[in-house]
Amino acid sequence: MDAHTFYVKGSALNRQGASALLNPEFPTLKAEMESAIKLVGAENDRAKTRGKPLYCAPAKPDMTADQLLAEFRRIPQERRRKITVRQAWREIAIRRFPC
């Protein structure tokens, strides 16, 4: 999924509040983000073994939906349309959790 589609759908769900959990789009977006976090985390682990981690997140990073969407919003729309959620998360993690 491209990052812009994720951002638009995620923003719409976020506006629904708690009822977003009942929206059929929710599991898809959740799985997309979980996959991106897992894959970028593995990439970071490989970089750590070389002594150059991509980012240094706390053991359990705490980010709300509002904060996550704000980070996606920081990526220009045209660029969000061209990158995947994984690529966007990599950029966000590096920016948000510098070493």
pLDDT for the residue numbered 67: 95
pLDDT for the residue numbered 61: 76
- CA-to-CA distance for 2 and 58, rounded, in angstroms? 27
Question: In this structure, which amino acid lies at residue 60?
Answer: K
pLDDT tens digit string along 14-64? 999 999 989 999 999 999 999 999 999 999 999 999 999 999 988 887 899
Give yes or no for a contact between 67 and 15, defined as CB atoms under 8 angstroms apart. no
- CA-to-CA distance for 32 and 48, rounded, in angstroms? 24
Label residue 51 left, alpha or beta by phi (over 0 means left) and psi (-120 to 50 means alpha): left
For residue 84, what are the β-bridge partners? 2
pLDDT for the residue numbered 25: 94
* 49 burial type by CB count under 10 A (0-12 exposed, 13-18 middle, 19+ buried): exposed
- pTM equals 0.90
Handedness of CA 18, 97, 33, 83 (dihedral sign): positive
pLDDT for the residue numbered 53: 97
pLDDT over 90 (residue 73) = yes
- CA-to-CA distance for 92 and 99, rounded, in angstroms? 13
pLDDT band, residue 90 (cuts 50/70/90)? very high
Q: What is the mean pLDDT of residues 4-14?
A: 96
pLDDT for the residue numbered 44: 97
